[in-house]
Structure 1
Amino acid sequence: MLLASLLAANHFAGAQAAAPANATPAPRADARPAATSLGAITQGLKKFDGYFPFYYDEKTGKVYLEIEKFDQDFLYFSSLTNGVGLGGPERGTASSNLAKFSKVGAKVFLIEPNLAYRATGKNPDEQRAVESAFAKSIIWGFSPVAVEGNKTLIDLTPFLVRDSQKLTDQLGRAGPQNCGGRAGRSA
């Protein structure tokens, strides 16, 4: 399911539209150490080409995303490929939004712009005023695992296995079940 979601995202990338904001998790203790080159991390991993090339580590289940297109809008699409039962969300639940990756200091942020308010003129002062008055959303923050020239490699795994559709909230409203996402049970 993880690879299918990422492959689908690669097919939809390039169109225009980002996901609900979620908190950024603390770095995991088992994360690979920082490297100076992408090859040091991706050597021996299965590569998938697309709008954003990604690498899959079959031994650890990690997915690494190579970003070269910073500050360029793309379609972020997330979906539920299977229903969860209990009369809850059905398969096919999806969301699509505009998003972009931006470098801020040593971090890489996945940002959803606020498209509800736009400057319609070409006046730079008007554009700055709208940009500063209406906040954009930071969907996720990543610490690069490797940087090589204008390419940055991030560990995408925690982002992919999170509850992007907020299923635990929906299932919790359905009754007294003890529902929650478990990263260790996700792939």
Structure 2
Amino acid sequence: MRGLVAFLFSVLALACGVASADEPTSWAEATDGLTLSDGFLPYYADAKGGRILASFPKPDEDGLSLRAIQATGLTAGLGSNPIGLDRGLFDGGAIIAFRRVGKKLVAEKENWTYRATADNPLEKKAVRESFAQSFIWSGEVIAEGPDGQLLVDISGFLTRDALDVIGTLKRNPDGGTFSLADDRSMPDVSAALAFPDNDEFDAYLTLKSDDPKSEVLATAADAHAVTLVQHVSLVRLPDDGYTPRMFDVRSGGIDVPFYDFSAPLGGEVRQAFARRFRLEKQDPTAASSPAKKPLVFYVDSGAPPEIR
């Protein structure tokens, strides 16, 4: 009898343990001891754990939590001019949609090469479904806030090879075949910065290879373990006040090409916008007027004074 009672107590204790393990982590537990940086995307920098925990807005009925511009670059590069993975390198940027799918938050790179500029939502939907989007990362939802916010560890998002560094090295005959060393790739928690319209993150990316080639051998401290610092900016999308300008080849500028599948029959499907700064006159009626918000260019403070 005593043995049966002991057995029943053991089963009950095990059941309670399983139930406890299945209970979701509370927001307070997950962020205990961490300080909130309240920027465009609020986050908690976990220095001991080497993590960045981000607080995403409550998803809408379609699962969309946040859309943002992502710009990625290199804070610290390889140092090989022929390969081109230099300090200060940046990509052209992308629009990323963060969506909840089940227990995960997915980062989706939107495909703006193919679009429909007409007002018909069904046309837009048809084009969107005709050309592939890209799920570039996903992370588990750690906890949910009282207003539906989602707490997610975005460390993996920050340490993914967003610049295709591995591909760049492989395509160059003097680079080599590398892979990402997950155990030596992590966010630089101390470098994270929060602002009202953007958040800035750095992450260490260590690339490993058994057969590095000459340019890597010549530049890296250890060519078998190349550590770069990747910078990721998440930037608020602009408001609707901007008016795009169609590109004219006579301008001598650089275009932003796209395919508009809502163009009239017989019309040009391939279109292009002009790349230009968003400058607004202080006095819209004047032929020439100072800008409301002048452009400011920054020169690398590490450059010699003569160059600056």
TM-score by length of 1: 0.73
Partner of 1:92: 88
- Correspondence 1:77 to 2:71: yes
Q: CA–CA distance in 2 between the matches of 1:171 and 1:74?
A: 29
Runs of 5+ in structure 1 lacking a partner? 1-32
> Which of residues 110, 115, 119 is equivalent to 2:107?
110
- Structure showing greater radius of gyration is 2
Q: Distance in 1 between matches of 2:69 and 2:133?
A: 16
* Greater strand fraction, Structure 1 or Structure 2: 2
Question: How high is the sequence identity, in percent, across the aligned residues?
Answer: 31
The reply on whether 1:139 has 2:136 as its aligned counterpart is yes
Provide the rounded CA distance (Å) in 1 between the counterparts of 2:173 and 2:75: 20
Q: Is 1:34–1:146's contact at 8 Å kept on the other side of the alignment?
A: no
* CA drift at 1:73: 2.4
* 1:141 shift after superposition: 1.3
Q: Gapped runs of 5+ residues in structure 2? A: 1-21, 187-308
- Please say if residues 79 and 87 of structure 2, whose CA atoms lie closer than 8 Å, have aligned partners that are also in contact: no
CA distance in 2, matches of 1:51, 1:179: 34
Distance 1:83 1:53 in 2: 28
Pair 1:185-2:181 in alignment = no
Whether the aligned pair in 2 keeps the contact of 1:162 and 1:183 (CA below 8 Å) is no
Q: Equivalents in 2 of 1:50, 1:142: separation in Å?
A: 20
CA distance change for structure 1 residues 34 and 66 in 2, over 3 Å: closer, same or farther?
farther
CA contact (8 A) 2:54 2:152 kept: yes
Counterpart residue identity of residue 66, structure 1: S
Cα distance in structure 1, aligned partners of 2:154 and 2:26: 17
Equivalent pair of 1:46/1:56 in contact (CA under 8 Å): yes
In the alignment, the residues of structure 1 paired with residue 115 and residue 167 of structure 2 have an alpha-carbon distance, to the nearest angstrom, of: 32
Q: Which residue of 1 aligns with 2:306?
A: none
TM-score between both structures, scaled by the size of structure 2: 0.46
Q: Distance in 1 between matches of 2:68 and 2:114?
A: 19
Change (3 A) 1:174 1:85: farther
Q: CA deviation at 1:154?
A: 0.9
Rounded Cα–Cα distance in structure 2 between residues aligned with 1:75 and 1:169: 23
Q: What is the distance in 1 between the residues matched to 2:46 and 2:181?
A: 20
Q: Give aligned pairs, total.
A: 155
